[in-house]
A and B are shown apart, each in its own frame.
Chain A
Amino acid sequence: MLARYVARRLLLLVPVVFGVTLLLFFSIHLVPGDPARSFLGDRATPSAVAALNKAWGLDHPIPVQYWLFLDRLVHGNLGQSLFYQSSTAGLLVGRLPVTLLLLVYGAVGSVIISVPLATLAALHPGGAADHSVRVVGTVGIGMPSFWVGTCLIILFGLVVPVFPVGGYGETWPSHLWSLVLPGLTIAISVSPMLVRSLRTSLIEALGSDYVAFARAKGASPSVVLTRYGLRNAAVAAVSVLGVNIGFLVGSTVVIENVFALPGLGSLMVQSILDRDFPVVQGITLVFAVLVVLVYLLTDLAYAVLDPRVRLT
């Protein structure tokens, strides 16, 4: 039952990937400039440029190129990078863990930030804490993440040098340490939405009959808050978190550049500048798959949290 549901959702990946590649393949060729010229430099002769384009298969008409691309794709081949001496797939595999880890940091961080703030606000709706949380949230929503990232670098990298200002380090502990600020940047951009949704559903839960009955039974305030209040509020909040994380897959492009992280996002920017088409296509595909997987995980988490939900 569950396996069938997951299989069906994964099957959905096929049209998604097809649509994404189609859209991307044609729009990327609208970008002026060609890869051979940016590879060979301004002084290259037209014949050299033409020869390189032919070697890369870029002399075919675009529909033919697309067909060749799809043909390679179904055989599991994302093509060769035009600029790196490596296959696209190899490049992506090296970069993917950084981006994944960044997303996990962002998701976990936003939960750590949001749950206490939303609880504080929901315990006394309309009170001083509620208003303060609302103001902080509004300010948070108004701050673009590249600016937040820069501020965090200045604060924790230069003024109080606790965290590295950029890079990914060499060892696993340094990887984990260097992702704290980027993860925090993501968490700060997701938290306002999450706080808002959690606060609303927590207020609703705390005003419900099941909370009144729990109190009448003599359940302690902490049990009422966690097992009755937050447990029920989490059901609605998990979809908000999922949608936002899905959305954030794209914004890792910005954050990885701010923090000079060797993830997919920074590779994406470089590849676009280089007109390294196979790599751009490969990364876009990975992002599309990531978004679909995040949404699938969200729906699964939703069904786990709420026994009334049936996955069909």
Chain B
Amino acid sequence: MRAGHLVRPRERGPALVPPAPSGRPGLLEVEGLTVSVSPPGERRRVDVVSNVSFNIMAGEAVGLVGESGSGKSLTLRAILGLLPAGATVKGGAVRFEGVDLLSGGKRSLQRVRGTGVTMIFQEPMTALNPVVRVGEQIVDAARRQLGWSRRESSEHALELARHMGIRDPDAVLSLYPHELSGGLRQRVMIAAALACQPRLVLCDEPTTALDVTIQAQIVALLARLRQESQMSLLYVTHDLAVVAQLCQRLQVMYAGSIVEKGSVAEIFASPRHPYTLGLIRATPDVHTVVDELTGIPGSAPHVGARPAGCAFHPRCSLATIECSSGEMPLRDLGNGRASACIHVDACQSAAEGLEAVR
């Protein structure tokens, strides 16, 4: 492989459909996705992801933010057909370049994985095969899909490792995952994920398990790779700072639903959902001295015990009686923004207070 292999336009891998005209419809379209599970020891099924819809355009980076248990990881896994045992897709559609991945069966998924869409995981220690050398893991899938010879594979592995900023790749690639540092492991995983030059990378909190300096390096690496190769990112995290650094658009998930979406700049300037507002307030800022961090009171509802109406209303300072019943669909606010809050105006005034605090 020659240098700059990630920059080159795709020349291999069969196109599934003719390229979409000028970015529309999106590269990935998720429509009404609903995922259900059985809570431990129960027979009934509960929706953990309900009616989630979004688009990702070619070359775009989208953040998906929410706390643990909000369903963001399951959303990612559902897209690639990687739901854990017990979780099933109850409804909705996932289309990649127009091809439905949910109803297309295993073959359409298999064709898209790796070359079209791939995913990087939170914990590289558990996401890498513990008993196989990392050099082999980087190229084992790509080798078959792209028909590389053994020799080509090892050259590609070296090149990918170098491209991920791994120093002394010859030595590193012959090691096993447990012999690497956390940061190196994550670089190895990213190299493996990108071996087939996918057009969309789903990132499941890829920096959460790393310490802060390494986090910054990995985020910088992802930003660089994205610029070079025009790949799209769907970045799941609970770290708003990372979203601000990497993404153009943001969607906020709470209790299995998207409660707000819009451009990163606009949402950060003026959130239109009290939950988003709470998240932004809870983010520490090195430029201001505070005695105490502002948290969101209460805790996220357990799966299967989500309150009626707006799931956030028991924790919300703006909640009124109307919030405790009925459906709370996302309402379009224009300019690509949407919120599920029925008190958007009150939220806007509360957010002005946010600016004042800063």
A contacts, CB < 8 Å to B: 125, 207-210, 212-221, 223, 227-228, 231-232, 235, 305-308
Contact = CB atoms under 8 A, between A and B. Distances in A.
Interface stretch (B22-30, B137-145, B219-227): B137-145
B121 A213 contact: yes
Contact of B77 (A208, A212, A214, A231): A212
B158 interface: no
A105 B113 CA distance: 42
A308 B176 contact: yes
Contact of B130 (A212, A221, A308): A308
Contacts of B85: 125, 207
B102 interface: no
B131 A216 contact: no
Q: Is the interface of A mostly helix, strand, loop or mixed?
A: helix
A214 B131 contact: no
Contacts of A228: 129
B184 interface: no
B222 to A, nearest CB: 16
Interface string B178-207: 100000000001001101100000100000
A214 B145 CA distance: 13
Contacts of A209: 121, 123, 126-127
B114 interface: yes
Nearest to B86: A207
Nearest to B145: A218
A306 B176 CA distance: 10
A214 B202 CA distance: 14
Contacts of A235: 131
B196 to A, nearest CB: 6
B263 to A, nearest CB: 28
Most buried by B among A207, A214, A305: A214
Interface of B: 77, 80-82, 84-85, 106, 110, 113-115, 118-121, 123, 126-132, 140-142, 144-145, 176, 178, 189, 192-193, 195-196, 202
A216 B84 contact: no
A223 B141 CA distance: 8
A210 B130 contact: yes
B129 A218 contact: no
A209 B196 CA distance: 20
A-B pairs, top 10 by smallest CB distance, nearest first, are A218-B114, A217-B141, A219-B141, A216-B119, A218-B113, A209-B126, A213-B127, A209-B127, A307-B176, A218-B141
Contacts of A212: 77, 82, 84, 119, 121, 127
B181 to A, nearest CB: 16
Most buried by B among A209, A213, A228: A213
Given A207-B84, A209-B121, A216-B193, A232 B141 contact: no
Contact of A216 (B80, B123, B126, B129): B80
B118 A217 contact: yes
B178 A308 contact: yes
A218 B126 contact: no
Contacts of B115: 218
A40 B195 CA distance: 82
A83 B195 CA distance: 72
Nearest to A208: B126
Nearest to A205: B129
Contacts of B77: 212
B58 to A, nearest CB: 20
Nearest to A219: B141
A214 B80 contact: no
A213 B176 contact: no
A262 to B, nearest CB: 42
A232 B130 contact: yes
A4 to B, nearest CB: 22
A100 to B, nearest CB: 29
A68 B110 CA distance: 72
A284 to B, nearest CB: 38
A125 B120 CA distance: 27
A216 B113 contact: yes
B172 to A, nearest CB: 15
Contact of B129 (A210, A215, A305): A210
B214 to A, nearest CB: 19
B161 to A, nearest CB: 15
B4 to A, nearest CB: 22
A210 B130 CA distance: 8
A223 B129 CA distance: 12
Nearest to B85: A207
B128 A216 contact: no
26 contacts: A207-B85, A209-B126, A210-B127, A210-B128, A212-B84, A212-B121, A213-B120, A213-B128, A213-B193, A215-B82, A215-B113, A216-B119, A217-B192, A218-B110, A218-B113, A218-B114, A218-B142, A218-B196, A219-B114, A219-B140, A220-B141, A220-B144, A221-B106, A232-B129, A235-B131, A307-B178
A311 B336 CA distance: 60
B256 to A, nearest CB: 21
B131 A306 contact: yes
B308 to A, nearest CB: 34
A209 B76 CA distance: 14
A228 B128 CA distance: 10
Most buried by B among A125, A217, A308: A217
A268 to B, nearest CB: 40
Given A213-B189, A217-B193, A307-B130, 19 more contacts: A207-B85, A210-B128, A210-B129, A212-B77, A212-B127, A213-B121, A214-B141, A215-B80, A216-B82, A216-B119, A216-B193, A217-B141, A219-B144, A221-B106, A223-B140, A227-B140, A232-B129, A232-B130, A232-B131
Contacts of B196: 217-218
Nearest to A126: B85
A305 B131 contact: yes
A307 to B, nearest CB: 4
A306 B178 CA distance: 11
Given A207-B85, A227-B140, A308-B176, A218 B118 contact: yes
Contacts of A218: 110, 113-115, 118, 141-142, 145, 196
